[in-house]
Amino acid sequence: MTDKNVNQNEKAKTVNVVAQKTDDRPVVLKVEHVAKYFRLPTEQATGLKMAFLNWTRGIKGYTEQHVLRDINFEVKQGDFFGIVGRNGSGKSTLLKIISGIYMPEKGKVSVKGKLVPFIELGVGFNPELTGRENVYLNGALLGFSHDEIDAMYDDIVEFAELGEFMDQKLKNYSSGMQVRLAFSVAIKAQGDILVLDEVLAVGDEAFQRKCDNFFSEIRKDPTKTVILVTHSMDSVKKYCNKAILIKDGEIIVSGNKNDVADRYTLENLKREGKESADDDQKNAEEDQYPTGLNATVPLLAVRPSKEPVCTMKEGFSFEVEYDYRGDKDFYLACSLNDIRRGGVPFGDSFDLYQPGHHTVRFHVPMDIFNNGEFRIIASLHEYENGRDDPEHVRMVAFTNEDFACDFSMRDPKGTDNFALLNKMRFGYEIVDKDLASRQQPITTE
Amino acid sequence: MKNLVKSLQERYRYALIVFKELVKTNFQLRYQGSFLGILWSVLQPLMLFAVMYVVFVKFLKFSDGTPTFPISLLCGTCLWQFFSESTSMGMHSIVDRGDLLRKIHFPNYIIVASTTMGSMISLAINLGVVILFGTFAHAHYTWRVLLVIPSIVQLYAISLGVALLLGSLYVYFRDIGHIWDVVLQAMFYATPIIYPISLVTDKGYGWAANLLMLVPTTQTIMDIRHNLLSPEYVPTVWTMVGNPIICLIPYVLSVVVLWLGIHIFRKYSAKFAEVL
């Protein structure tokens, strides 16, 4: 554990302590010092022969992989608790430990109340049974008796909008219908703690809206607790009141959902940066130039000057590092891509005067945009016949995905993610002022 | 203390709910899509019986000459069918239901218990047929029929114990599946079902016959046939061995098998979800 992480953990702990003083809701889930490792078989060890051979040779036959190290957190009644992290960070393992599917190697998990886990939707669904039978089977596996399911059966069917199909065999359902049924059982199940693993994105738009309403409702219910594992920072910000971010089996941020969501975005961007550095090294060893580069331009990269997250006011600072070894006049072209919405909102070109290895710094004001994910890509071009002849140019290098610069804008004023341009800087002018007037913007602070 | 009782209740409530639903589902799915459906529960052992009767009794003359031998053969076939089916299916059940174990936490011994209980339902139907046929086949029903119930419980306990044991081992070593097939076959021939035990005794291997009777499954099957069909003609470990202490061996073994199965299963079941 690095010092930085220790600090953050301690900070998180103090935040919890402060919260406890002001908050007397009961703790419904407590995870204390949970650690988990898996034994990965190095050779196929599922067989008497291999087990015997390994034993005679004194081979362990497996390597240990630590998936979780010392996880601590508390969830209180009524919380909508988010767990985020990149693929392979251990969040699903954590969820399985909370649900009791895996046993932790160290530490302990205490649950108060009825915990209903949905690691996957429709556990035990059998295509040969009817929809009705599957609801009862699925419900029983979640711990609901026949009578209890009787009580919620109508609700489930109504929510799934499958009334007329319930006596059909499940194999005759479309996949969307199956998912809808499973999801309805999941959210109508009357548990105290609901554990959901990335199951929000199912069904058609109307069904999505229904789920959205349901989550907004359950958020307000102080007796229900939800634990949600997701990749979608939108849902974290929308529903959760608390969240943790897990990285390499440790909690690196805990508490405020916005901090967690922003940090998650940052982690994603940083990881990409690290990977590209690795790639660079690898390619150098192989004595090859990465895609887009060559002997004339062995280096061209766009990098953020500071953090790859900016606000509206700051704008975004970046630098372009290049190494031009040709002998012609050349120029640099930069374009700004909008990753999420698609398209290139802006692009420009600059003549460069110094061949060799240099770094040029730039700044782009971001106050006309709403929040989003952006990428700056650059390319180097040569003038075939000198600067006076802009007709004959040739591209000599460009930044591939590894050398382009990804960044995000996160600003409380820019949360309207619908359009690229924000309303403060751009707007329709109303011609018929007696027929229309502009709505007041909704501020989400 | 109060909390303990409450949590115990809660724990077994869950197990019971899952158990009921899984037994029901297994039974529903068992004859899914077949034309005769549940009738196969009855037809299958009857057809098997017909084959055995023709081959072993008519052609090979494996009969002890008693009038109840045919019905005893049918009864033995049904009981063996139960043992072999419940242990094989119980062995595979954990791996087959791996999808459930990886997704949800529930008392996982219920998977094995519900599978063996499925076989038990078939056995109940079959025994109904046996009793019905017995009235036409010289079966002598006495008050001893009541003793069949504890014997059935004992047979279930043995099967459950073996199924739990094999089920846990099968998760780690798939070889067990092949080994158990062979063991079952060997046990079948070592059980006096298709031949009367007198066949072994008459050839002068009295000690071997006695040894065979000490196998828990054999002892149970013989007890059931003795008490259900004909106390006169079907021998048991009690009529053959006599020494009450030795006679108790198969009963004690049954308990040991069940205990061992539960013990091994409990020890390894926490890791099933990770291994599967």
Per-residue confidence (pLDDT) for residue B166, from 0 to 100: 93
Contacts of A146 in chain B (CB under 8 A): 17, 20
Per-residue confidence (pLDDT) for residue A185, from 0 to 100: 84
Q: In this structure, is residue A142 part of a structural domain?
A: no
Q: In this structure, is residue A183 part of a structural domain?
A: no
Per-residue confidence (pLDDT) for residue A42, from 0 to 100: 63
Identify whether residues A91 and A196 lie together within a single domain.
yes
Contacts of A102 in chain B (CB under 8 A): 273-274
d(CA A133, CA A432): 60
Identify whether residues A97 and A198 lie together within a single domain.
yes
d(CA A112, CA A225): 11
Work out the mean pLDDT of chain B and round it to a whole number.
86
Mean pLDDT, residues B219-223 taken together? 90
CATH code, A74: 3.40.50.300
pLDDT above 90 (res B36): no
Q: Is A103 on the interface with B (CB under 8 A)?
A: yes
pLDDT above 50 (res A8): no
The whole-angstrom distance between B21's CA and the closest CA on chain A is: 6
Identify whether residues A355 and A229 lie together within a single domain.
no
Q: Is A120 on the interface with B (CB under 8 A)?
A: yes
- Structure confidence at residue A223 as a pLDDT band (50, 70, 90): confident
CB-based contact B249:B214 (threshold 8 Å): yes
User: B189-213, pLDDT tens digit by residue?
Assistant: 988 888 888 888 888 788 888 888 8
pLDDT above 50 (res A13): no
More confident site: A134 or B237: A134
Mean pLDDT, residues A176-180 taken together? 81
Q: Is B175 on the interface with A (CB under 8 A)?
A: yes
d(CA B127, CA B140): 15
Q: Point out the least confidently predicted range of A38-52, A183-197, A338-352, B92-106.
A: A38-52
CB-based contact A378:A402 (threshold 8 Å): no
Per-residue confidence (pLDDT) for residue A387, from 0 to 100: 83
Identify whether residues A16 and A99 lie together within a single domain.
yes
CB-based contact A424:A342 (threshold 8 Å): no
SS (H, E, C) B34-102: CCCCCHHHHHHHHHHHHHHHHHHHHHCCCCCCCCCHHHHHHHHHHHHHHHHHHHHHHHHHHHHCHHHHH
3-state secondary structure of A230: coil
Per-residue confidence (pLDDT) for residue A11, from 0 to 100: 44
User: A145-167, pLDDT tens digit by residue?
Assistant: 888 888 888 888 888 888 888 88
Mean pLDDT, residues A219-225 taken together? 82
- Structure confidence at residue A22 as a pLDDT band (50, 70, 90): low
CATH code, A343: 2.60.40.1930
Q: In this structure, is residue A423 part of a structural domain?
A: no
pLDDT above 70 (res A297): yes
| CB atoms A101 and B105 under 8 Å | yes
Identify whether residues A103 and A9 lie together within a single domain.
yes
Closest CA to B162 of B75, B80, B254: B254
- Structure confidence at residue B183 as a pLDDT band (50, 70, 90): very high
d(CA A377, CA A349): 12
Identify whether residues A308 and A244 lie together within a single domain.
no
pLDDT above 50 (res A445): no
pLDDT above 80 (res B51): yes
Per-residue confidence (pLDDT) for residue A60, from 0 to 100: 64
Per-residue confidence (pLDDT) for residue B262, from 0 to 100: 93
Identify whether residues A318 and A239 lie together within a single domain.
no
| CB atoms A141 and B29 under 8 Å | no
pLDDT above 50 (res A21): no
Mean pLDDT, residues A249-273 taken together? 68
Per-residue confidence (pLDDT) for residue A44, from 0 to 100: 55
User: B149-169, pLDDT tens digit by residue?
Assistant: 999 999 999 999 999 999 999
d(CA A38, CA A65): 5
**What is the count of structural domains for chain A?**
2
Work out the mean pLDDT of chain A and round it to a whole number.
77
pLDDT above 50 (res A19): no
Per-residue confidence (pLDDT) for residue B150, from 0 to 100: 92
Strand partners, A349: A333
Q: Point out the least confidently predicted range of A11-20, A354-363, A388-397, B164-173.
A: A11-20
Identify whether residues A211 and A65 lie together within a single domain.
yes
| CB atoms A38 and B274 under 8 Å | yes
Identify whether residues A313 and A382 lie together within a single domain.
yes
The burial class, CB within 10 Å (0-12 / 13-18 / 19+), for B16 is middle
- Structure confidence at residue B92 as a pLDDT band (50, 70, 90): very high
Per-residue confidence (pLDDT) for residue A258, from 0 to 100: 66
A117: nearest CB among B13, B105, B173? B105
Best B17, B32, B172 residue to mutate vs chain A (most A CBs within 10 Å): B17
- Highest average pLDDT, of A7-11, A429-433, B248-252, B256-260, comes from B256-260
What percent of chain A has a predicted confidence (pLDDT) above 90? 2
- Structure confidence at residue A249 as a pLDDT band (50, 70, 90): confident
Mean pLDDT, residues A435-443 taken together? 73
Identify whether residues A253 and A294 lie together within a single domain.
no
Per-residue confidence (pLDDT) for residue B184, from 0 to 100: 94
pLDDT above 70 (res A88): yes
Q: Is A102 on the interface with B (CB under 8 A)?
A: yes
Q: What residues does each domain of chain B span?
A: 14-275
pLDDT above 90 (res B180): yes
- Structure confidence at residue A61 as a pLDDT band (50, 70, 90): low
d(CA A46, CA A61): 10
Per-residue confidence (pLDDT) for residue A283, from 0 to 100: 41
Supply the range of the domain harboring residue A108: 3-113+192-266
Contacts of B175 in chain A (CB under 8 A): 47-49
Per-residue confidence (pLDDT) for residue A16, from 0 to 100: 45
Per-residue confidence (pLDDT) for residue B271, from 0 to 100: 82
Q: In this structure, is residue A16 part of a structural domain?
A: yes
Q: In this structure, is residue A281 part of a structural domain?
A: no
For strands A115-118 and A250-255, give the pairing: unpaired
Identify whether residues A221 and A298 lie together within a single domain.
no
B273: nearest CB among A102, A136, A143? A102
Per-residue confidence (pLDDT) for residue A269, from 0 to 100: 61
More confident site: A354 or A16: A354
